[in-house]
Amino acid sequence: MDLILEYQDQLLAGTWVTIKLALLSLLIAVLFGLVGAWAKLSKNIVAQKIAAAYTAIVRGVPDLVLILLVFFGGQELANSIGTLTGLWEYAEISQFAAGVGTIGIVFGGYMTETFRGAILSIPKGQIEAGVACGMSRMIIFRRVIWPQMVVYALPGFSNNWLVQIKSTALVSVIGLQDVVYNGFVAGRSTRQLFTFMFAVLMIYLVLTAISDSGLRWLDKKYSKGIVRSDDG
């Protein structure tokens, strides 16, 4: 315990990196999820195909493989493009950018499915009613679809977020100094790896517990007036 207190600055700094990483990638995931759900439900066949390929790849390839590919491959790609076009000499993708981008895009794929399901569970009659009232597509989305979609999507969203927080641990593999990396380094230098990895475990547990109760509160707040058939 004393040892952990001695290294608390590193652990806290790492936790902060983890939180930033998780929140920023959540933002990207929601954006990709919205665009993806729109593409999947649109009448445009090209958009549909692209969205289908996107969700299939994300579901089929483990996130760590994609993180490594983006971090190492993206670097190489950026440099080749720079050399070819002569626009820049040397580009560097930071670990943080690679982590945020990849995790955001990966969970964007899961969000796509969540949002798509949520939009589909809005009765079609309501959208037709909106059209009949002369609402534009934008207004129908804002006033009819969005408020209900948020409610229907919340359980799936919560699930995705809880998985996503845990996925951020993987960026320690490319050397980003998140809570796992810092905990590991501290544990190695003090030869107390169990103590430190246990501390990291507890930090994650606290993060998930906080988001769990936060999401539960949100769910209670938003699902007033909605009857769910199951209790899950």
Partner 1 sequence: MAESIVKFLETWSPIDIVLIAQNFDRFLWGALTTLELTVISLLVGGILSIPLAIIRAGNNKILNAPVWVFTYVFRGTPLLVQTYLIYYGLGQFEWIRETFLWGPVLSQAWYCALIAFSLNTAAYTAELLRGSIVNTSRGEIEAARACGFSRAMRMRRIVLPSAFRRALPAYSNEVIFMLHGSVVASTITIQDLLGVGRWLNGRYYLAYEGFITAAVLYFIIVLAVSRGFRLWEKHWLAHLYPQDAVKTKPKKGLASFRI
Binding site for partner 1 (CB under 8 A): 57, 59-66, 68-69, 72-73, 75-77, 162, 166-170, 172-173, 180, 184, 187, 191-195, 197-198, 200-201, 204-205, 208-209, 230, 232
63 is written with which tokens?
């996130």
Nearer to partner 1, 17 or 140 (CB): 17
Q: How far is the CB of 22 from partner 1 (least distance, A)?
A: 11
Cβ atoms of 67 and 170 closer than 8 Å: yes
175 is written with which tokens?
């050397």
CA dist 188 and 136 (Å) reads: 61
Q: How far is the CB of 72 from partner 1 (least distance, A)?
A: 5
Nearer to partner 1, 114 or 172 (CB): 172
Residue with tokens 């983006």: 70
Q: How far is the CB of 62 from partner 1 (least distance, A)?
A: 4
Nearer to partner 1, 73 or 147 (CB): 73
Nearer to partner 1, 72 or 88 (CB): 72
Amino acid at 169: A
CA 196, 64, 95: angle at the middle one, nearest 5? Answer: 75
Cβ atoms of 14 and 183 closer than 8 Å: yes
